[in-house]
Chains A and B, each alone.
Chain A
Amino acid sequence: MVNRRDFGKISLAAGLTAAIGRPAWAASAADAAVKAAQQYKGRSITIVWEAGLQSLDPTHFSGPKWKELTGMDVKVVEVATAEMFTKIMQDYKSGAGAYDALNVIPAWMPDLAQAGALEVLDPYVEKYGYAPELQTIAPTFRDNWMKVGGKIYGFPDDGDVFIMYYRRDLFEDTAVQKAFKDKTGKNLAVPKTWADFDVVGAGLTDILKDKGIYGASFFRQPPYAMYMFEERFRNEGGKFFAADTMKATINSDVGIKVFTGMRNENRFMPPGVEQFGFVENLAAFLQGQSAMTISWPPYGRWAEGYGTDQEALNWVPKTTIAGKVGYALPPGGHPELAAGFSLSISSTSKNKDAAYLFIQWLNSEDVSRQRVQLPYTLRDPFRDSHYADPGYLALWPNAKDYLAALKQASQTGLLDLSLLQTDKYEEVLRQAISKLWAGDDPKTILDAAAAEWDTITQKIGVDKQKAVYASWAANSGAYPKV
């Protein structure tokens, strides 16, 4: 458990570790960027970043550090998550050119690239020799979050992926194991399929409910549950579209099975789980209320109390389960690489070169290693080197299992669906999920959703969308390899 320290000391420690770890003779991308940026001393660039916790990275660590090294001023434009796409698009469409560097959720990249809002980065990568360090980004992120139509538009910078967290202490408790075996005839084990999950979850709830513990809890609010649906649907074999006709197939038997399953599972989850968002689910898990949950990497760090003594994280409920958490892949074995962030450059920026150097530096081996270890960070490991970093491994006793799970997840992960006007399709999914919690029949909901998807596709142009979908589906992370 990390003792109480302020930002500066931890960052310094992380920085020293990184400095010691790097061989002195390597001309790293970070150094190259710093060197080339000297000519821009005194320049000011802006970068759009998710408001709140995420922004602490550039405002407390990377921004000041970059300024120290190059004399360039970094102005962080904090934007609420829900408004990021809007602000970026508006800035582009109005020709305002107020943003230089951007944080972009990869699922938006086709739309932004198609609209012309993003700068093609290949020439810059070439010019500053960044290709080698791009290669060492974990394969799934590297191969899926960087390019649109073969051109590089962004550098993956945040290894968002869903991990299953479970209470090791409960799963290894002999009394619980016995009660479970008696009740279900099966051995208690971390579920590998959704069918298993239903059995384990319901069983655990029966056994532990008196202690106030439920088998599982999820964040069921539509914006989050949407990602879980995309993940589970594909793990169970579903396809979003029929590739030849571009007709939506979310209302296939698989879709109905998934929706029905999701709804039934709520019964053994804490009452009111349909309203759970990221923080409510976090509170439930950290307070020991659920035995299993699925979420992004921060849950794992915060469950161990890493960074939660920081002022910036004082809104995180205190963990009661440190040392008791195990990590696994979600049932089905192919977790969703939900959301995530890539670093891009705005095509209307007036400081493209300078901004590019900043994002190269941010994304480089050296600097990214430090950034993902900041105690208040929301940036999750995304490079092969991160998963093996000695500094990270030392953060808490079980960190090695955590990093191993993250690494495995990054190798088997599934991409968010990303087409033209992805948000329209996602909106339909979100609404479908909210109808599910309202009690409507799964088949009816999904049939209506599929019909809406078809309408959207037709409006955009079937052939146009078909091409984009084909190129997305060709990605290794689009569907689980059979």
Chain B
Amino acid sequence: MAAIAYPDRNFKYWLISPAIFLLLLIGLFPLIFSLVVSFMRVTMLETDTSFAGLLNFIQLFHDARLWQSLAHTALVIVIALPIELLLGLAMAYLFLDRMPGRQILISLLVLPTIISPIVAGATWRLLFDNRYGPINQIIGWFAGYPVAALWTVNPRLVYPAIIFCEIWQWTPFMFLILLAALSNVDRSLTEAAEIDGARFWRSFRYIVLPAIWPVMSIAILIRGLDLFRIFDIIWALTAGGPGTMTETISVYAYVQGFRQFESSYTAAIAFLVIALLTVIVTFAIRRMGLAK
């Protein structure tokens, strides 16, 4: 887009400075502070503010639990994100055309996204409860005999439980965004393609997908970043257990920073995370051409 030349050169700075100021205050200052702390030895027991060099960062590389937590996080993202995307897309198609009560149904569908994630996790915990929750009861109806599935304890069930809860809460978010995108696609194009005999998939791939890609890519990026930071649901369902099996990077950082007050080490972890994310996001943004 062409920039406009205005006589008063300062107008544009006035516009942006309050936002920049707040971002610096809340965004930059804590980061610098954390960086400084990560070079010290601040723990629960001592507040040694002398320069400790790269001590904490070296420890990062030797910390198996940290890398495991990153692997767990990656696992969650790789499984949940595609499902949310595809399910959201399918649902968007479903609600694309008119149907009775469409507005109400859509409003109801949004509900999972707006309740607090902590409450969502806690509710699902009760739903999954073997004795007092309806899920095992329902499974038992289908199976024909009482089923005792321990969703928050059985190592084979914990990830399904977490991912199920996560998908339940956030697919509606994707759904809404994609619904809007789809409803903007020029209908005459797809109809013309249909008349010409194009199958659904060809039409989707060459007409619809390019049209909704800008929206979809932003949605994927936002969702991906949020999944990276997933905390509340896991904390409520398993607290990272069994053992550290479902511990993601946020859970690990929380335990280190808030339970055990390893302030310096947590700061180092935070920087590792930010560095990683910066690389990934910058790459993604430029590749998807979002900053132009």
Contact = CB atoms under 8 A, between A and B. Distances in A.
Whether both chains belong to one complex is answered with yes
Given A270-B131, A272-B129, A275-B153, A89 B45 contact: no
A96 B119 CA distance: 30
B155 A438 contact: yes
Give chain B's interface secondary structure class.
loop
A275 B152 contact: yes
Nearest to A456: B260
Contacts, number: 69
A271 B148 contact: yes
Contact of B130 (A85, A271, A434): A271
Interface stretch (A21-29, A188-196, A374-382, A416-424): A416-424
Contact of B131 (A280, A423, A437): A280
A460 to B, nearest CB: 7
A89 B47 CA distance: 13
A86 B258 contact: yes
Contacts of A222: 239, 241
Given A272-B150, A275-B153, A86 B259 contact: yes
Interface in A424-462: 424, 427, 430-432, 434-435, 437-440, 460
B221 to A, nearest CB: 32
B261 A275 contact: no
A89 B261 contact: yes
Given A86-B259, A423-B259, A274 B153 contact: yes
A366 interface: no
B61 to A, nearest CB: 16
Contact of A275 (B44, B130, B239): B130
A111 interface: yes
Nearest to A452: B65
Contacts of B148: 271-272
Contact of A274 (B45, B47, B150): B150
Assign chain A's interface to a size class: 20 to 34
B44 A89 contact: yes
Contacts of A85: 259
Given A270-B131, A272-B129, A272-B130, A431 B44 contact: no
A415 B212 CA distance: 63
B264 to A, nearest CB: 13
Q: In terms of DSSP, what is the predominant structure of the interface of chain A? A: helix
Contacts of A275: 129-130, 150, 152-153
A283 B154 CA distance: 22
Interface in B44-63: 44-45, 47
Nearest to A273: B130
Nearest to B241: A434
A280 B128 CA distance: 13
B129 A434 contact: no
A254 B216 CA distance: 58
Contact of A272 (B45, B131, B244): B131
B242 to A, nearest CB: 4
Contacts of B242: 431, 434-435, 437-438
Contacts of A114: 45
A423 B260 contact: yes
B44 A115 contact: yes
Contacts of A270: 131
A431 B243 contact: yes
Contacts of B130: 271-272, 275
Contacts of A89: 44, 261
B72 to A, nearest CB: 14
A93 to B, nearest CB: 7
B227 interface: no
Given A270-B131, A272-B129, A438 B153 contact: yes
A111 B260 CA distance: 10
A420 B45 contact: yes
B193 interface: no
A432 B153 CA distance: 12
A427 B240 CA distance: 11
A460 B150 contact: no
A431 B259 contact: no
Contacts of A437: 150, 153, 242
Interface string B253-292: 0010011110000000000000000000000000000000
Interface string A85-98: 11001000100000
A421 B130 CA distance: 35
A283 B129 CA distance: 13
A39 B261 CA distance: 39
A93 B47 contact: yes
B131 A431 contact: no
B200 interface: no
A275 B241 CA distance: 12
Contacts of A439: 155
B132 interface: yes
Given A86-B259, A272-B129, A421-B44, A435 B243 contact: yes
Contacts of A271: 130-131, 148
A437 B129 CA distance: 15
A438 B241 CA distance: 9
A19 B130 CA distance: 49
A89 B239 CA distance: 21
Interface in B148-184: 148, 150, 152-155
Nearest to B43: A421
Given A438-B154, A438-B155, A111 B129 contact: no
A114 B45 CA distance: 7
Given A86-B259, A271-B130, A434 B243 contact: yes
Interface in A72-107: 85-86, 89, 93
Q: Which 3 A-B pairs have the closest CB atoms?
A: A272-B130, A434-B242, A434-B241
Interface of B: 44-45, 47, 129-132, 148, 150, 152-155, 239, 241-245, 255, 258-261
8 contacts: A85-B259, A89-B44, A272-B148, A274-B153, A427-B255, A427-B259, A432-B243, A440-B243
